[in-house]
Chains A and B, each alone.
Chain A
Amino acid sequence: MIEVDRLTKNYGSLLAVDNISFQVNKGEILGFLGPNGAGKSTTMKMLSCFIHPTGGTARIGGKDILTDSISVRKILGYLPESAPSYKNMTVLEFLEFIAQTRGFSGQEKSDRVERIIDLTTLESARYQTIDTLSKGFRQRVGFAQALIHDPPVLILDEPTDGLDPNQKQEVRALIQRMAEEKAIILSTHILEEMEAVCTRAIIINQGKIVADGAPQTLLTHSRVFNAVTLKLPHRLEDATTQSLLKLENVNDVKTVAPSQTGEDYVVQVFPNKKQDILGQVKDLLNSNNIEISEIYREKGYMDEVFRHLTLGG
């Protein structure tokens, strides 16, 4: 549905987006991550035909953003960063205005507006001037505006920004419900959100793609991925550490810290090449009759992966 082809954007001497290419298919929810100023919004602005790329192009639903931008805009729902809207209109007036410019009139227009007000829980704010809405409600109006024509492609720049935890949850659920029929790109700074919602994530840093894959795949970049964490009531004896180190696939054993509860000693066993060593470690500890209060395999930490990829640390 979305094919991005060597897209580039310069602002003067600043290279905001540097030759990026990727594709998004129907049914995918692509999370766009990256530090502030990485080029997420700039990429989304080019895809939504708001700004012209300096180089490269993209096709959305087969239509080129450069040569057929009106057709692209017809099949696209776009939520700009910080959800701008005409502040002196009421929610209802604003949504009707968007519906009309999208070519709906009469009963169909009203039906669509009603459905979207219901979907984004804006009922209580229907006759309120957007000016007087709270930030979260304004964000919802922006979200509603992007959905009014039920577009096959959605581009959402920080859709849950400013929403309360319940609303965040609701918007995420809504995005997931719609996903089957659509290709969706959303940007976010919330890593848990990406893990919970997205089928795939792209991390971009200084205009370049530094990682592209399913959240689980990204987690394998984590330093602790597949490490085995042990919680023990007593200090681990040196002899046991030595025999752990002698295991075929074990690379390192580290005493992390006495854990927060103050009771346990925490030890992490790191594998060679991130292999699964849980079984081996368990067997060894069992055969040595070592008392453990907890043992589990680490799934990796997204924040650590993110930091590693974007700071190069």
Chain B
Amino acid sequence: MAQITTLIKRELMSYFYSPVAYVFIKIFLLSTVGTPFFLGNFLNTKQASREIFFLFHPWLYLFLIPAIGMGLWAEERNTGTIELLFTLPISMIQAVVSKFLAGWIFIGIALLLTFPIILTVNYLGEPDNGVIFASYLGSFLMAGAYLVITCVTSALTRNQVISFILSVIVCFIMVLLGWGIFANIMNKMFPVWLTDIISTASFSTHFNSISRGIIDSRDLIFFLSIIGGGLIINALILETKKGS
């Protein structure tokens, strides 16, 4: 456990050493604030901006999370530090889990920083604390799922750009699966029950369900098992690829 903490600390430090962290947080804040203001007013809906704020998270994460995660393993392999890491007395699982957790904590920090904004936005409305909390939880869990996919693609290659593109594609598919238009197209090709199964594998389906304010254990289990499964795949890939 102490070793995991040490590894997480180093990883987090390396985020804040690099300009990527600050750029990420700025873009994240600007876009999370920007989208509800622009689109919220533009559409002139009665919906609280808060809902729109969360509505766009799947699309925001689509680029932001692969951007911060693409280097996680690719960089270690590129600079050779992976040889240092895996000759220290730490297990593969410890290494994989701590790298993931560090990234997740970092995203969590960025997400928390939006909290004052959300409060302001909701100042005039009637904020439903339960729904806000659920939305944050859903967003955080979904971010973990994006991140684990990026971890896997980052372990697959030394090249950060390839890792980025691969993970955007995979995450895009995971979001798209639950999208109405996509489901309509699929309904024409496949029986409805199959389309339903496919759309339950979508990030956005589960995220939307949580952010309505009802924390259903099926949604939690969905994201947590994506994360768990992803970490295992990540470990297996590294085990075979670390030396090449």
Residues of A within 8 A of B (CB): 11, 45, 48-52, 70-71, 73-74, 76, 78, 80, 82, 84-89, 93, 97-98, 100-103, 105, 145
Contacts and interface: CB of A to CB of B under 8 A. Distances in A.
A51 B3 CA distance: 22
Contacts of B84: 80, 84-85, 145
Contact of A51 (B10, B18, B243): B243
A110 to B, nearest CB: 15
Contact of A78 (B13, B17, B87, B243): B87
Given A82-B80, A85-B81, A97-B10, A48 B87 contact: yes
Given A86-B14, A89-B17, A101-B7, 12 more contacts: A45-B243, A52-B243, A70-B90, A76-B87, A82-B80, A84-B83, A84-B84, A100-B2, A100-B3, A101-B89, A102-B88, A105-B2
A94 to B, nearest CB: 9
A49 B2 contact: no
B182 interface: no
Interface in B203-244: 242-244
A162 to B, nearest CB: 15
A50 B80 CA distance: 11
Contacts of B115: none
Interface in B5-42: 6-7, 10, 13-14, 17-18
Contacts of B14: 86, 88-89
A70 B88 CA distance: 8
B132 to A, nearest CB: 36
A50 B89 contact: no
Q: When A and B form their complex, which 8 residue pairs have the shortest distance between CB atoms, in order from nearest?
A: A84-B80, A51-B243, A100-B6, A88-B17, A73-B89, A80-B83, A74-B89, A48-B87
A98 B243 contact: no
Contact of A49 (B10, B79, B87): B87
B87 to A, nearest CB: 5
Interface in B76-122: 79-81, 83-84, 86-91
A48 B88 CA distance: 9
Contacts of A86: 10, 14, 81
A93 B244 CA distance: 28
A50 B14 CA distance: 23
Nearest to B6: A100
Interface of B: 2-3, 6-7, 10, 13-14, 17-18, 79-81, 83-84, 86-91, 242-244
20 contacts: A48-B87, A70-B90, A78-B87, A80-B84, A80-B87, A84-B79, A85-B81, A86-B81, A87-B79, A89-B14, A89-B17, A93-B13, A97-B6, A97-B10, A100-B6, A101-B3, A101-B6, A101-B90, A103-B2, A103-B89
B15 to A, nearest CB: 10
Nearest to A49: B87
A131 to B, nearest CB: 10
B87 A70 contact: no
Contacts of B86: 49-50
Contacts of B89: 70-71, 73-74, 101-103
B237 to A, nearest CB: 14
Contacts of B79: 84, 87
Contacts of A98: 88
B238 to A, nearest CB: 12
Nearest to A51: B243
Nearest to A98: B88
B53 to A, nearest CB: 33
Contacts of A105: 2
B158 to A, nearest CB: 14
B79 to A, nearest CB: 6
Contacts of A87: 79
Nearest to B243: A51
Contact of A101 (B81, B88, B244): B88
B13 to A, nearest CB: 7
A71 B89 CA distance: 7
A271 B59 CA distance: 83
B80 A70 contact: no
A48 B87 CA distance: 6
B89 to A, nearest CB: 4
A81 to B, nearest CB: 8
Contacts of B13: 89, 93
B83 to A, nearest CB: 4
A45 B87 CA distance: 9
A101 B88 CA distance: 7
B83 A45 contact: yes
Contacts of A11: 244
A73 B18 contact: no
A93 B90 CA distance: 19
Nearest to A84: B80
